[in-house]
Every structure is written in C-alpha cells, then in structure tokens.
Chain A
C-alpha cells in the first residue's frame, strides 16, 4: 500500500501538492476554533448543589437539607460519588460523575431529582446548581472601589454597602451578558438591607411583639392589580399601589392600636439601611472592597472571554457614579498570552534553527525549504486534530512539540533523494521519467525505516495514555498532540515531500557536499575504524556508561509534574476555626499591608469566607489571597527567582500572629478546591453517624498510625471548634407561662438572626426588609438572658426564665461522603515503601481499633492512584515492549537486528540523564516524555543505519566494508536528524519565560540524549553489528 501511495504522490505530484491548500484551509479554519489556555483542565465532571439556608447551623443544614438532597441523588446513572459539607448557612453537595459524562446530561438528571424533593426541604430553601464552569473558569477578577473622598448622591461617603449595590445592579447585569460568561460571582461589601430594629423595652411599653411588627410590615407593603373595567368604550386598568418606598414610609406603618392610639413602627423601632449577616468579605491592599469574579462557561476559550470581559469592564466604567472605579486585578489573558508567547517563541526559533541546519547540511536551499515546509503543514494538521479531539492549546499540549523530531522523517527522505539525484546526475540531467522513478526509489528506500520509527515513537507513548485521573488529564493532551504531529508529519513525508522533491528538485543537483559534512566524514572515518578495532573496549565503556547513569538517575530528585509558574501567587491564610469575619478582616489587613511592602508586589486581593455563589465554601477563618506580581522588568532585582520571592514573602508573613499559610497559585488553587480529594499519601476515612464517636474512632486510628513505622504528619481532620451559643428551651417553665418552644425559638431567630419582612423596591433593585434586634442588644450575650419573651396575655418573661443559654464548641462543618458522615485521618510516609506501609497500617488498624456497629473505614489517598497506576502499567509496559520489538522484527525479519537496534536505547538515555544531572534538574514526567522522544530518535537512526548496512552487505558480501561504507553514507542523515532534533529544542531548554519550566526538562533531556544517541549510532551500533554478524560473514 505504501508503494501505491508513494507512486501516486510522485506521479500525480501536482494534485498532491494542491492538497496542501486544502490542508492549509482546514488548518486555518481550525485555528480559529482552537481553545487556548495556559494549562490543561484537570477538573473532573462534577456538579455542585448549593442550598443557602440563612441562619442554619451546620447540624440543621445537614439534617434538613444535605441529607434529603443526597438521598435524592442515589442511583444516578454514571454517578461516581457524592460528597457534601454542611456549615453555617450553607449546604453544598458535590456530585462527581464518571469521566466522559456529558455535563448537561448530568445536570438535567440532577435537576429532575431535585424537583422531586422540593417538598421535603424546609420552605423557602431552594437548592441551586453551581455554575457550569471548570477549574479554569475564574478568568477575571475585578474590584469596585471608591476614589478617596467620593460621596454618594446624598453626601454620605461611598461605603461598602453602596459599592456592593453598584456591583449588583450596574456592573454585574452588564458583565453577565458577555458571551462565554456563565456567572459573575460577588464577594465583599454588604448587601443593602432595610433594617427595622425594635428596642425590647419599647415593645414591652406598647405591648407589641416582634412578630406583630414583622406581620404589620408584610401587610402594608404590596401593590395589587385589580383587573380592568370598561368605561365609555375604554379599558381602564385598576391597581392599588401600596409598596413602601422609603425609610420615612416604613416608620409610619402602624403595628397595632392601643386604646385608640396607633402604635407606629417609629414608636418601637429604628429604621435604617443596615448590614446583612454576610458569610464572606473581600479586601484589597489592606482595605475592604467589593470583588467580582467572572466565571467562564465550560469549554469556552478563556483568552477571548477574558478579553471580552476586560473590554466590557472598560465600557461600563463611564456608566458608574462619579468617584467609583472598577479595575481588573486578575486577568487570565496575561498568563495565557505569556504562556503562548513562550511556546510561540520556542517553536519559531526552533523552526528557524532547523531550517538553517538543513540548509547547511544539505547544501541545497530548495531541499531545506521542502523539509522545513513540513513544519507549518504538520502544525496545521495537528491543530485540526486537536480541535477535532477537543484538546486545548496550552503549555502541556504544545510544550512537547519539537520540530526537529517532526521533520526527521522528511529529512531522511529528502537527504536520500538528494544523494541519489546528485549521484545519478554524474551523467548529466535526467529525463523526467527517470527522475520520477529515482525519487520514488530513493523515498522507498528509507520510508520503511522512518515509518517504523514513527510507529515506534507512537507506541512508546502508550503508557502515558494509560494514566488516569489528574495525571491522565495533564499528560494525555501532551501525548496526543505529539502523536498527532508525528502522524501528520509521517503522512506528509509519504505524500507531499516526495511530490515536492519531484517537482522542485529539477535542476542540477550538485554532489558538492557541504563542508560541514565532508569535515565530519574526514574525522568520522578514521575514528570508526579505530572503534572497529577496539570493539570490546567500545562496548565495555558503553556498558559502563549506562551503569553509571542508572546509578546517577537514582540520585536525581523527583517531582511529578513540573510546576507551571503562573506568575502570580495565591496564598491561603488560615486562621483557627471559629474566627469571626471581622477578626479575620483585621488580621487580613495586617497581612496585606505586609505583602504590599514588597516592591515586586503589584496588588493584593483576598476573598475571605464564602462568596455569594458558594463556589468555594470556606468559613470566615480562611482567606484566599491573590498576590499579583509586577512584570519582572519592574522588579528592583529582575534576576530574583520566584522561589526566592516566595521564600522572602513567607518569612515576612509568618511573623504575623495567628495566621498559617499555604502557598500556591491562582489556577492551581482553584483546581485543588474543585478536585479536593485526599492529597496525603494515605487517607483513612471513618464513616458513621455520631460526630463524637467518629472523632473518637479517628483518634484511635491516629494513635495506631503513630506507631506504624514510617508514618509522618498524621492529622485528624478538624471538625469541631466552632463556638456555639445554644438556647435550650425549658419545657416546664414554658408551660407555666403558656408558651411553646417555637415562641422562644422564633424570638431568638428573629432577634439575633433577623426575620425577612418583605422587599423594598427601587426600580429594578430590590432590597430585603429585615426585622432584627439592635446591634447593641444582639451582640451582648450577657443581656440576651434578660431578653423579654412576650406572653400570650401581654406580659413578659425574661429569656433566662424559660430557656437555658449554653456556650459550647460545636462542629464547624459536617463533611459527608456517599451519604454518610465522615472524618478523615491523613498520613504521609517517609523512608518506607508506600505499599508495605499501607498494608501494615490496614492490618494493625483492623486488629487494634474497635469500631462500633454502623461505623466503617475506607482507605484512600495517593497510594490508591499509585497502586492502580502500577497495576495498569505492569500490563501496559510489557505489552509496549513486545510491540516495539515486534515492529523491529517485522522491519528486519531478524530478531538479532531488532535487538541490536533496541540495545541502543539505553545509551541514548545516558545523555539525557547526564544533562539533567548537569543542569541540576529533577526527574519528572516532562523529562520522561523527553526520554520517550529520545528512544524514538535512537531507534529511528539505528533503523536507518542498520537497514543500509544490511542492504550493502547483501549487495557486496563484505561485512566490514559494508559497515564502514554504510555508516559513512548514513553520517549525513544521522547528523542532520540529530542536529535538527537537538537544535530545535535549544530555545526551549534555555527559555525562562512563563511556562518554560514545563518544557525545560524535556528539552534538556532530548538535547543531552541526542548527543549520546548520535555517538551510539555512529560508533557502538556498527561495532555491535560487526560483532554479532561476524560468524556469518
């Protein structure tokens, strides 16, 4: 079949070449549709179900909301697992589906299930699904701020409430219109509310209760439509407006009539614009602010959406009141642009280097251009493939592309054609027919080895495709892109390259070997002859080198995925559970002031607690800080590394009392929040019902773990620590006064938490009208005991008389998984193999921890991934090896030759390991991908070399002569492939731009490896061949 394709390409060369136009067209079209981002999306398929429950404590939220919601989800198709948290005012159930489930399908299913439990939930509570966004969704953050001295229309300063109103009613509605934006999430400031705050004494004075007050407000705040009447042929609409519109109007509402005298709201209460009981706040540079986050719809192009949002923000600015400033503080475009610029620069420079090398070595500009043309064409084909398979362009997927590798096949073909053409041109120009035949033959001569080479490289990527989970999501795009690029390059070298050679290499092809090559040959030949003499020495030193490098590899550090430097820093500031929002803000202010003292820091913004849409439901004790770093050229010392800066910042902030920190990066942080699995080596989940028992069992597990060898950082998940004031009604006392438990509860709930008494409309804007005790009363828990509880007969009784007030610690949050409460014990393992550790821990815990009925343990953590990855790889890797050897055997029909080529691979790897060691880089998957590419190159070169030597040998019958001659003929292509492949990676290896850290190890490995691999192909391979085949000769 290959012959047929080749023949077709050469015969119908113009038709073949015109196919390029099609490819270019499709490629450009695809390029418009290629999603571009900085990193691959590693979020799983999940739906968050948030139910806001104002005033609910964690226990109530779990019992009333989380449990019914979880139960409703049982048995969903493709359901992987559910987990939930219940905390103050919020229940969040996260439903994770199997990979590959369509998110809209999943949401539909959930929607249907939620519909059936509407009635089982407390009235007024509505479960809502979180935005359809992934971990890459937070593309732009902006703050709404007042310029110093700016005032509202009425002359009062623009405070947090006013700014929030501007955000909610002017900015958000406009931003939400931007295509690709699914949600604008707000945190910070206060929702404007109208507060009616009755004084207990006044209520007693006039004998009205808070309930009556709330009822009166509700009954005097509606507009009513009353149909229409026809009058004199006209239709008259009838309506009775009665909505309250201002504080003055609210004050005039009559609550009751006491001996003919109306009791008005103003008699018993104060009415004012008040602050909601918020669950989160935002700060910027040490001051409170309002922070908006634009979330991108899943699958959109983050760069273009972020740009559109930023433009819209600029367009919104003029519509804002005087003195209000909206400013983007985090913009994904910056990062994506930087990352793409890095990739672009690497690829462009690499491509240029490749062309130069080709020209120098081939000594023929046309041939160089033909070869180089493979680069953009295969790139376009790859882009088309990426769009079709839904792979986004990012650092990972584009990072492993090396044009040198891609053009290898074409190089070999073009080189052979030139050689043959120039040889046959000794007798003058060839007629067309002969030339075409020659091109066909020359291509055919080398096409098989290069096809096998590409096939083998592709096969080597198989183990990467077997990775699952986060690792899979991270590296599949990389492997897929490389394979697509190689395949398209292979197809091109099979079709376009011979066609182009046939069309373009018409004139006289001189045998003038470029001086580089002839120089190299003059060195190589004597060296090869010497090597052939000291065969055993060559082999011995090669073996020794491999041994040394294997040892060296064990001394290299290791990291899983090289960290992409996002440029900015995200840091969690953690305070002890139970810390209040105001306290947290005070601590945050100090932290931000410290951060701002760094000249490298541009802006600091922070989200404290939970935003309006609970995408990340954390308590007020946790603050997510975004430290936006200035561009490097504005640093006092632009050579300072990011690590250094982070270390300095860490040192400065750890001095501040009461905060603990976790340093991360914005996107990384978001991924962590969403994936949220156990990130320790071993996580033991204790499932059961009773919180105290769960905690006791977890402690027991912890104690056993502490005695297992190798255990470190053993932690029991912190579940308590939320101080709670419980108002326990005394039933006997209540009955004495004719009260119900509910009366007391309602009083406390309304008084402290506030009761919603309707809405106040201002045009589109609507604000809650809330009845709540004055701050002075509700904040003072000592005086709460004296809060008068109204009696049915008009008297009162102090709260302490009918209820007991108790201050105790309660759960901060209740975590559940798969419908059961759970507490996690985590541990890391040091100086011991993980598998053995887990086994011992499991056995010991089973023996020593006595769990009550209805409680059970579940083992998870990274060890699970390791086990499954090991198990899978244990199957995949041998299969891969068999396939590779099988391919080689197919190519040569000889196991011996296949093994000769295969044994070359380790030597190729030595260079990679050495170069890593020289540059002081750890082993990582990126480096691993480099090793894979390397082994491909080694095999490819070996293949071509061995194939040539063998053919010559068969032709001439003299082994030694065949080897030397063959090796010399192959010197040029071997050097060329080596040089293009390694030079193509040089920019990548040296780049320091954003995202370079992902590519640097890979490039380093390839460059180092190719040097050793070339030496191997040039010296060791001929020696080995001679050794193994001398008996036959």
Chain B
C-alpha cells in the first residue's frame, strides 16, 4: 500500500504543476501501542536491559552448550558491579509454581543458581539491592501459552485428565504357525506281524487312552491280540484294513490335538526382549488366548529367526496345526508413578509436550519420556502428578499456540 500516496501525489502534482518526486512517503497507519510490559532494549551481551535511575541490570538466559541458566551484568552509574549486589529473580509459572534464583559473581558475570527449566514461560520479578537501595522490575514473559474460554473448549471437544500413575505393557507382534509336538503323535504298530481281524476306529475318530483300535492275529502264535491307543487323541492316520497283513509299518497315527504349539518367529531385532515365561496374546480369526512362552529354540534350517514355542489349548479341536497365529508378546510390564496418554502428546519445536490446563489457560509442558505402549507413556520429568493435561483434541491447543505462524502461501 506504499504505492498509494506517491501515486495520489503524482496525480495532484499533475494538476499543481509540481514535481511528482516531492512525494513524501510517510505512513500514517503506524501503530504505536504502548505496551511496556516487557523490557525491549537489549544490552551489550544480548540480554534484556533493565534500567532504573542510575542502576542497570542486564539479564540473560544463557543456553548455549549448558542447561539454561541466568546470567546477569549489573552496573551503577555505568560502572560494572562485581560485589555488593543482592540480585534475586523470581519466576512464577502457570499453576503457581515459583522458582527463585540468587546470583553469585562468576568472574565475568553474575550467575543464577539453578537451571531455568523449559518452558520459559513465567511472570518475572527481579529484585536488586544495591548499596542499601532497592530496585524492582516486573513483567510477563509467556511462551507456549494460550487462553480458551471454557465453553468454547467444551464445544471444541477439549477434554483434560489428571496425570497420575499407570501401567505400561510393551508388546511385540510376531507370527507363527501351530504345530504339534513330537510327543503328541503316536504311531501305533502291530507288535507281532499278523492279520488284522478287526479295525475299531476310523480316520478322525476321537480316542481315549486304552481304547481299542484294532485286533491282530499274530502269525506266530495265531493268537489275537488288541491294539490299544497309547493316549488321548484323534486318529489322524489309518493305513490298514481288515484282512491285511500288519508288518513293520505304522498302522495308526494318534495325534493329541488338545494341545498345540504356536511356533512364533522372533527376529534378531526383537530377540533380546523376548524371554521364556513371558505372556503372549495369541490371535487368529475368531480366536483369542493368553499363554506363556514355554521355550525358545533356534529355527530349523538355520533361518535367522528364533522360535518361541507357546502352548495352545485346543479343547474343542477348533484349531489345526498349520494355522497361522499372531502372537503379541508382552515383553515388559511397568507400573510407573506418572504416565500420560499417548494421544495427549504433541510434537512442539524439538520437544514432546503435553498441554496443562489451569483455569482457562493452557501451556506446554515439555516432557522427558520413558517407555511407552499403545496407550500410555511414562513421564520422567516435566510434569507433576495431579496436573490436569489435555487428552482429547490436544492438537487444537497446539494449533492455537502456533497459529500465528499459519500462513496462506502459494
């Protein structure tokens, strides 16, 4: 809009027979809002310059290569002060938490005792006692903070929860097929060769231990003897019919299908986390069962994975060997003192943050995070138990805080 005035002038100038180049370009829409809340001048060290009468304090949060700390330079009548200074900075954060810093001279500057923790959003009160004279400065220094009226927040679906302890279950998803263990297949042979005189079972029949399978007439003794099932199971093979000669070959296979084994493939990247005894949630279509890892054994054929064997109960025989199972192995269960819900977490600058709520005000809390599962993440630092934090629609708070940066670029 800088173009207007010169052009206007040029038009008038046409008529006034004056040169268009006299055009002044002052703008009349400069906004001069008197907001003296925060000191705006910068000192020679790049910090905020606080001035009152003859004393100045330059206050800086220094965070290059060290955790953020306060550094200050104090002058009186333009002369740097190296002692006799009682400087105190008090930060009041959202929720009422107060951090107080006292300063000690450190060769070149006055150093505050303690780390200025993120976020650097607080009301600052600086008190300086110098030669018995007191100076005080106050201002607000807010970042990552926004206000949303309660009814609007409610309408927007913003919900909060209280941060507290939680239980974190970390799982690994693996797949493997169901198999039967060798001990679960019994191949029944005739003890003495002979003629089968009777067969009592058919393929697929369920048999109990001791049930009669067949009768054989021994070639040597010509006596008929019984073949009985050595265990409970299902007849999965029957190689013989009445009248045939039973020789060396197995006549029946009895398989115990009431117990199956899921052989889950654990890949090298997952191997270290998996141990015998861990809980496993087994899933197949229409099937869910909880079990434990019984064994870990190397895979056959030197394949790069390990097999985790899990016992699967199959009392009604709905599962078959060869069926693919998904197994979520619970590799870690933690009871943590402080955890937040995963959907509450949002990336903010380089941090993972949640937004705490105090009244209508919301502010970021950069978190130090521990282990996480599908729903919860442990908080190691940055949040107090009992803080209310935004769970539902946390993105909206992030969007509101960052919105000044939203633009319509083409």
Give A residues with C-beta under 8 Å from B. Answer: 85, 201-202, 204-205, 460, 463, 467, 471, 550, 553-554, 557-560, 572, 574-577, 579, 583, 586-587, 590, 616-618, 621-622, 655-660, 662, 673, 676, 681, 715, 717-718, 721, 723, 736-737, 782-783, 786, 788, 795-798, 800-801, 809, 813, 815, 829-835, 862-863, 865-866, 869-870, 873-874, 877-878, 880-881, 902, 905-906, 908-909, 923-925, 927-928, 931-932, 934-935
Chain B proximity of A193: nearest CB distance (Å): 26
CB-based contact B8/A801 at 8 Å = no
Decide yes or no: A877 and B13 within 8 Å by CB, A201-B175, A681-B2, A870-B20 being known contacts: yes
CB-based contact B399/A869 at 8 Å = no
Residues of B within 8 A of A906 (CB): 15-16
Which residues 293-348 of B have a CB within 8 angstroms of A? 303-305, 323-324, 326, 347
CB-based contact B14/A866 at 8 Å = no
CB-based contact A618/B12 at 8 Å = no
Residues of B within 8 A of A463 (CB): 10-11, 14
Chain B proximity of A434: nearest CB distance (Å): 43
A832 to B24, CA, bound (A): 10
Residues of A within 8 A of B396 (CB): 587, 657-658
| Residue B34 is within 8 A (CB to CB) of chain A in the complex | no
Chain B proximity of A867: nearest CB distance (Å): 10
Chain B proximity of A470: nearest CB distance (Å): 10
Chain B proximity of A588: nearest CB distance (Å): 12
Chain B proximity of A886: nearest CB distance (Å): 13
Given A560-B1, A658-B400, 7 other A-B contacts at CB below 8 A? A574-B407, A616-B410, A809-B347, A833-B26, A863-B2, A927-B8, A932-B11
Chain B proximity of A308: nearest CB distance (Å): 31
CB-based contact A575/B175 at 8 Å = no
Nearest residue in B to A905 (C-beta to C-beta)? B15
For A579, give its contact among B5, B148, B270, B395 (CB under 8 Å): B395
Nearest residue in B to A586 (C-beta to C-beta)? B157
For A870, give its contact among B4, B23, B283 (CB under 8 Å): B23
CB-based contact A786/B156 at 8 Å = no
Nearest residue in B to A721 (C-beta to C-beta)? B405
CB-based contact A576/B25 at 8 Å = no
CB-based contact A874/B20 at 8 Å = yes
A484 to B374, CA, bound (A): 75
| Residue B79 is within 8 A (CB to CB) of chain A in the complex | no
Decide yes or no: A204 and B324 within 8 Å by CB, A560-B1, A657-B146 being known contacts: yes
The interface bits of chain B over 1-41 (1 if a CB of A lies within 8 angstroms of the residue's CB, else 0) are 11111111011111111011101111111100000000000
Residues of B within 8 A of A924 (CB): 4, 8
| Residue B139 is within 8 A (CB to CB) of chain A in the complex | no
CB-based contact B406/A866 at 8 Å = no
Decide yes or no: A866 and B397 within 8 Å by CB, A204-B324, A783-B173, A834-B25 being known contacts: no
| Residue B53 is within 8 A (CB to CB) of chain A in the complex | no
CB-based contact A657/B399 at 8 Å = yes
For B408, give its contact among A572, A583, A881 (CB under 8 Å): A572
| Residue B172 is within 8 A (CB to CB) of chain A in the complex | yes
CB-based contact A870/B21 at 8 Å = yes
- Could you name 6 residue pairs across A and B whose Cβ atoms are closer than 8 Å? A560-B4, A590-B155, A657-B400, A717-B409, A869-B6, A873-B10
Which residues 33-72 of B have a CB within 8 angstroms of A? none
Chain B proximity of A2: nearest CB distance (Å): 27
A98 to B298, CA, bound (A): 73
CB-based contact B152/A909 at 8 Å = no
Residues of A within 8 A of B12 (CB): 553, 909, 928, 931
Residues of A within 8 A of B407 (CB): 574, 715, 717-718
CB-based contact A866/B3 at 8 Å = yes
Residues of B within 8 A of A905 (CB): 15-17
CB-based contact A877/B374 at 8 Å = no
Chain B proximity of A956: nearest CB distance (Å): 33
For A881, give its contact among B14, B21, B149 (CB under 8 Å): B14
CB-based contact A798/B152 at 8 Å = no
CB-based contact B10/A786 at 8 Å = no
CB-based contact A928/B8 at 8 Å = yes
| Residue B153 is within 8 A (CB to CB) of chain A in the complex | yes
For B175, give its contact among A658, A737, A796 (CB under 8 Å): A796
A834 to B27, CA, bound (A): 10
Nearest residue in A to B304 (C-beta to C-beta)? A736
Nearest residue in A to B25 (C-beta to C-beta)? A833
A870 to B403, CA, bound (A): 38
Decide yes or no: A881 and B10 within 8 Å by CB, A657-B156, A831-B27 being known contacts: no
For A590, give its contact among B3, B156, B374 (CB under 8 Å): B156
Decide yes or no: A576 and B14 within 8 Å by CB, A657-B397, A717-B409 being known contacts: no
A749 to B104, CA, bound (A): 59
A928 to B7, CA, bound (A): 9
Decide yes or no: A85 and B4 within 8 Å by CB, A718-B405, A801-B269, A931-B12 being known contacts: no
Residues of A within 8 A of B347 (CB): 723, 809
CB-based contact B4/A621 at 8 Å = no
Most A CB within 10 A of own CB, among B3, B267, B395 = B3
Chain B proximity of A234: nearest CB distance (Å): 54
Residues of B within 8 A of A832 (CB): 25
Nearest residue in B to A593 (C-beta to C-beta)? B155
| Residue B84 is within 8 A (CB to CB) of chain A in the complex | no
A905 to B14, CA, bound (A): 10
Residues of B within 8 A of A553 (CB): 12
Nearest residue in B to A870 (C-beta to C-beta)? B6
| Residue B268 is within 8 A (CB to CB) of chain A in the complex | yes
A554 to B9, CA, bound (A): 9
Nearest residue in B to A800 (C-beta to C-beta)? B269
Residues of A within 8 A of B3 (CB): 471, 560, 862, 865-866, 869
CB-based contact A662/B408 at 8 Å = yes
Decide yes or no: A587 and B8 within 8 Å by CB, A204-B324, A621-B406 being known contacts: no
